[in-house]
Amino acid sequence: MALVEPLNNTAYREPTSKTSSLLDSHFPVSDQHHGGEEEKTLESNSTPQRISPRLESIRAPGDVKKPTLSRNQSNTTNSLRPVRSQRSYAGQDGYTCFSDEDGAEGSDGINEPSDPEKAFEVKWDGEKDPMNPRNKGKLQKWLIVLIIAASSLCVTCVSSGYTSIYEQVIPLWSSSREVATLGLSLYVVGLGLGPMFLAPLSEASQTFDDQNHRFYGRRPIYIASLIFFVIWLIPCAVANGMATMLVSRFLDGVAGSAFLSVAGGTVGDMFSKSELSMPMMVYTASPFIGPELGPIIGGFINQYTNWRWTFYTLLIWAGVQLGLIVFFVPETYHPVLLRAKAQKMRADTGNDKWMAPIEHMDRTIAQTILWSCIRPFQLLFLEPMCLCLCILSALLLGILYLFFGAYPLVFGVNHGFTLSQTGLAFIGILIGMIAGISTDPLWRQYREYLVRQREQQGGEPGGSEPEYRLPPTILGAILIPVSLFGFGWTTYSFLPCMVVLELTVSCRIIFVYSGVFTFLVDCYPLYAASALAANSFARSSFAAAFPLFGVQMYSNLGYQWATSLLAFLALAMTPFPYLFYRFGKRLRGKSKFAQA
């Protein structure tokens, strides 16, 4: 959730119709560049010669075997497509990986281009290659997933845990509720802006000269981000004024955002598509559960001790996560590891021709970041489907963050809850999130049913459409206004609080998100990273803005009508998922970005 500047230099590759994604449908990334230029097909009268010797049988530089044509090649004229050497290894969401065809699944060959002066392309050595992240033990891979998920949980928990300190810091610093709420909003803004810069850095290269490139990978970004995350938690804990708190919160959000943009790529690096569903579900659950966990932890801390212990506790947690990442999370980004393998081969053989694919790239960090900031806004302003679905998901996250201010009013004022009890009220949202995530296998089965039905009608395999991702969004968009109306009109003090808790909207929010994310990726395969970045920007904007007026809205309109206003906004967005389900294919046909 990044765009890549197209290059002038090209490398010839045989055309292929096989398209493969290493990631589950939640996070697929196109194998094409995101620069926006279409690749042209050239006709060539010369046939490229291609050999695939196994890496372990590399000969000395002087013992060169004459290349031979593979059995799939002939001397007839081939149509060659120049593929830019800068392919989309870098998705701004951090989910990009090699396709199966590019060796991530264990291709054992090294391709020699038709130009003998071009370097040989280094790939993985099948299932026994010790450097391939997919060949790690299952226990080690799951340990890495759990560490990354816990780090993401920590980052999102810090966002909402801050709301529990209001009762102490507002009178202490003679501040207003609105100014104090800025600490929450600025942190969320940081979470939204950070991926624009950190995710491209994880997969970017900086050219220093013709032979030196710097590749950052995922592990350095994790370590650097978490170090700064810990550093900026310290002034939050020892702050003596609101200005220090607000600046530190923003910078802390920027630092922690790496785990919301890059970490999904680590999961995709280690698991094949057939194995990816469960580990990706574990990771994707963490950023949704974290915001509900914050008030639960913070409520008990702030009721029984000083507010500073809220940040001391989070500081300890973040420090533990930093240690776990340093010692147990290795680099998993395939291009960086292949570069290390190429370096080893060059050192062992003395032949400088062996090169990793990413070493042919000539992309600067400035170009990568620039394009990662431009394309998402193009999709928002020029694509009505992307715009409407982003507004829908942004509205729901804004409502969720608004509840961090509304819950203390509804349960604290109406039902006399203490601070810790108000925090426990968020368990209802937490359970709803977990319940919504657990329904993911059912939605997958329903999508498979739609695909089979279309294949039977059309008589050809491969009948999937992006619109088949939208049924959970349709259901969620219908149920959310119902839940909000029910929540609003059961906030009277004479009604049991359990009635209110049963009407929380979190389960329905997950339904909407699961459909929107996967639809955007399927609908805009060439610009999947940008579509997710656009969605992330919209969600962060709404989540930052809504808490700033939530308390005033509930105080002036009353709990019932304030919640009803939110319900009417959600109701206005209800038709769009169904309309896109019915007419999405027609709209895609008229789009310059979507897959027709």
Question: Mind giving me the DSSP string for 406-455?
Answer: HHIIIIIIIS---HHHHHHTTHHHHHHHHHHHHTHHHHHHHHHHHHHHHH
| Contact indicator for 554, 561 with CB cutoff of 8 Å | no
The angle at the Cα of 64, spanning 57 to 347, to the nearest 5 degrees, equals 60
420 within 8 A of 300, measured Cβ to Cβ: yes
* Cα–Cα distance for residue pair 312/497, rounded to 1 Å: 32
Return the biggest CA–CA distance within the chain.
Answer: 89
pLDDT score, position 42: 34
Query: Is residue 521 predicted with pLDDT exceeding 70?
Result: yes
Question: How many distinct helices (H) and strands (E) make up the chain?
Answer: 20, 7
488 with 560: CB under 8 angstroms?
yes
What value does the mean pLDDT take over residues 187-216? 65
pLDDT digits (tens, 9 = 90+) for 416-474: 899 999 998 888 888 888 888 888 889 989 988 998 888 888 766 767 889 999 999 99
Examine the pLDDT at 108 and tell me if it is beyond 50: no
Q: Which of 477, 133, 431 is nearest to 285 (CA)?
A: 431
Segment 243-285, tens digit of pLDDT: 999 999 999 999 998 888 788 788 888 988 778 778 888 888 8
| Contacts of 399 by beta carbon, 8 Å cutoff, 6+ apart | 484, 505, 546, 566, 570
> What residues are paired with 214 via a beta bridge?
206
Instruction: Calculate helix-pair angle for 506-523, 471-488, nearest 10 degrees.
Output: 150
Q: How confident is the model at residue 401 (pLDDT cuts 50, 70, 90)?
A: very high
Q: What is the mean pLDDT of residues 178-184?
A: 95
**What is the mean predicted confidence (pLDDT) over 126-135?**
84
Residue range 1-49+79-95+103-117+135-333 forms a domain whose CATH class is mainly alpha
CA-to-CA dists, residue 28 to 19, 107, 149, angstroms: 11, 20, 19
pLDDT level of residue 74 (50, 70, 90 thresholds) = very low
Indicate the DSSP class of residue 464: -
Select, from the ranges 173-177, 460-464, 523-527, the one with the highest average predicted confidence (pLDDT): 173-177
Q: Give the integer Cα–Cα distance in Å for 182 and 123.
A: 49
Distance CA 565, CA 557 (A): 9
Q: How many residues does the chain have?
A: 596
* Per-residue CA distances from 219 to 196, 202, 300, 323 (Å): 18, 8, 34, 13
Q: From edge to edge, which strands make up the β-sheet containing 10-13?
A: 10-13, 78-84, 42-44
Q: Which CATH superfamily is domain 383-455+463-596 in?
A: MFS general substrate transporter like domains (1.20.1250.20)
pLDDT of residue 274: 72
Of 77-81, 100-104, 269-273, highest mean pLDDT = 269-273
Phi first, then psi: give them for residue 14, nearest 5 degrees: -65, 140
Which residue intervals of 271-364 are DSSP H helices? 277-304, 308-328, 334-349
527 CB-near residues (< 8 Å, 6+ apart) = 3, 30, 34, 375, 379, 593
Residue type, 480: I
Helix axes 177-202, 219-238, angle to 10 degrees: 160
Q: φ, ψ for residue 365 (rounded to 5)?
A: -65, -40
Q: Give the C-alpha separation, 546 to 262, whole Å.
A: 27
Q: Collapse the DSSP code of 495 into the 3-class scheme (helix H, G, I; strand E, B; otherwise coil) and give the result.
A: coil
Least confident of 157-161, 396-400, 482-486, 495-499: 495-499
- 42 phi-psi bin (left φ>0, alpha ψ -120 to 50, beta other): beta
Is the predicted pLDDT of residue 335 greater than 80, yes or no?
yes
- 169 contacts: CB under 8 Å, gap ≥ 6: 175, 180, 242, 245, 307
Strands (E) in 92-222, as ranges, are 120-121, 205-207, 213-215
pLDDT confidence of 32, banded at 50, 70, 90? very low
Name the band, by pLDDT with cuts 50, 70 and 90, for residue 502.
Answer: low
Contacts of 146 (CB under 8 A, 6+ apart): 282
How far apart, in whole angstroms, are the C-alpha atoms of residue 403 and residue 551?
9
Distance CA 464, CA 467 (A): 8
Residue 47 backbone dihedrals phi, psi, to 5 degrees: -95, 125
Q: Token pair for residue 494? A: 């004479």
The answer to whether the beta carbons of residues 427 and 594 sit under 8 Å apart is no
Q: Report DSSP state, residue 215.
A: E
111 DSSP assignment: B
What tens digit of pLDDT does each residue of 21-30 get?
333 333 333 3
Q: Check pLDDT > 90 for residue 371.
A: no
Q: What is the average pLDDT value for the chain, to the nearest integer?
A: 77
Rounded-to-integer distance, Cα 136 and Cα 121, Å = 23
Lookup: tokens for 360: 């042919």
List, by residue range, all CATH 1.20.1250.20 domains of the chain.
1-49+79-95+103-117+135-333, 383-455+463-596
pTM assigned to the model: 0.76
Choice between 124 and 136, residue whose per-residue pLDDT is larger: 136
> Which residues, 6 or more positions from 394, have their beta carbon under 8 angstroms from its beta carbon?
535, 538, 539, 541, 542, 543
Q: How many CB atoms lie within 10 A of CB 246?
A: 19
In the predicted structure, residue 386 carries a pLDDT above the cut 70: yes
CB-CB contact of 432 with 285 (8 Å) = no
